[in-house]
Amino acid sequence: MLLNIPQNFPALELLAKEQFSISDLILAKKDAKPHLKVAVLNLMPLKIDTEADILRIMSNSPLYIHLDFIYLESHSPKNTPIEHIHKYYKSFSSIKDTQYDGFIVTGAPVELMPFEEVSYWTELEDVFDWARQNVTSSLYICWGAQAALHHFHGVPKYELEKKLFGIYPHTVKDISFPLFRGFDDVFYVPHSRHTTILEKDILKHSELKIYSETDDTGIYLIADTSRSEFFITGHSEYAPMALHKEYTRDMKKGLNTVGVPYNYYPENNPNKAPLVLWRSHSSLLFNNWLHYFCYFSTKE
């Protein structure tokens, strides 16, 4: 796998600590032509952790990928030095005339706010509209999925009585759908959210199709069948310790009502290392997206 990223990218240090094979992340020569150009709008608070999540996923692809991380100029991150953003990210305004094969919008810690009250909502709407004109296929994750569904289709979100937090089993409605090729009958996905979307609102739009949902988590994956856009409510990209970090953070804040993440620790014991149940399907999901919807679509 070839991955074109900035030199000395800090996320590589996190991957090295995981005993991840950094040798697989080969920085391509400048004269090499990538198979795909992928942009990531990283709205997560811990930017470097999310960068590592994306690199971990992309490293499983046999394609040579040029990867750009994008930031919004109307938003100043609180948990990542602005110097990091300016060094390793590109502003949205600087890439407006660039076309990409793939585009990912992450979740964000603003899900309990009305969409229009989010400080960067206006610029984010510009990003959504830009993507429809300049991107082959878009993948929206967690709050990013809720925000895009609201912007494009007016789909509302609803606050849950209790945070959905843990590793949940899912099934596929249509195993022939390319995004789910190679999946087992049951696959697992991490969830960490306070809000949800409802099937009744999705069914109002003929162009939207639900490909996976469960009683425990509700809808997991929606596709816009009129274009190559996908909306995922979970965090398939999460690292093994991501939910543990969230759990310990919440405990320190005194948020005891959240509870231990479901189906995550052996015997429900936070002192034991979590069981990773979602790694293989996460890799397959992103590989299928890159292969069938970003790469093959450019060859048609």
> Mean pLDDT, 10 residues at a time, over the chain (300 residues)?
69 70 50 83 93 87 89 88 91 96 96 96 98 97 98 97 95 92 95 96 97 94 95 96 91 76 95 94 96 78
pTM of the complete model: 0.92
Q: What angle do CA 252, 257, 262 make, to 5 degrees?
A: 95
**So what's the pLDDT on residue 147?**
98
- Is 294 among the residues known to form the active site? no
**So what's the pLDDT on residue 23?**
47
**So what's the pLDDT on residue 81?**
86
Q: Are 65 and 34 in contact (CB under 8 A)?
A: yes
Question: What DSSP designation does 284 have?
Answer: H
- d(CA 74, CA 104) in angstroms, rounded, equals 19
**So what's the pLDDT on residue 35?**
86
- Is 191 among the residues known to form the active site? no
Please enumerate in sequence order all residues whose Cβ is within 8 A of that of 20, keeping only pairs 6 or more positions apart, or say none. 56, 59
Q: Are 72 and 297 in contact (CB under 8 A)?
A: no
- d(CA 93, CA 123) in angstroms, rounded, equals 10
- d(CA 212, CA 186) in angstroms, rounded, equals 11
- Helix/strand/coil for 76: coil
- d(CA 255, CA 261) in angstroms, rounded, equals 13
- d(CA 67, CA 213) in angstroms, rounded, equals 30
Site of tokens 């149940």: 277
**So what's the pLDDT on residue 30?**
55
Single out the catalytic residue among 170, 191, 194, 235.
235
Q: Are 33 and 66 in contact (CB under 8 A)?
A: no
- Is 237 among the residues known to form the active site? yes
**So what's the pLDDT on residue 94?**
96
Q: Are 34 and 4 in contact (CB under 8 A)?
A: yes
Single out the catalytic residue among 237, 246, 281, 294.
237
- d(CA 121, CA 283) in angstroms, rounded, equals 30
Helix, strand, coil percentages in the chain from 3-state DSSP, rounded to 5: 35, 25, 40
- d(CA 290, CA 77) in angstroms, rounded, equals 28
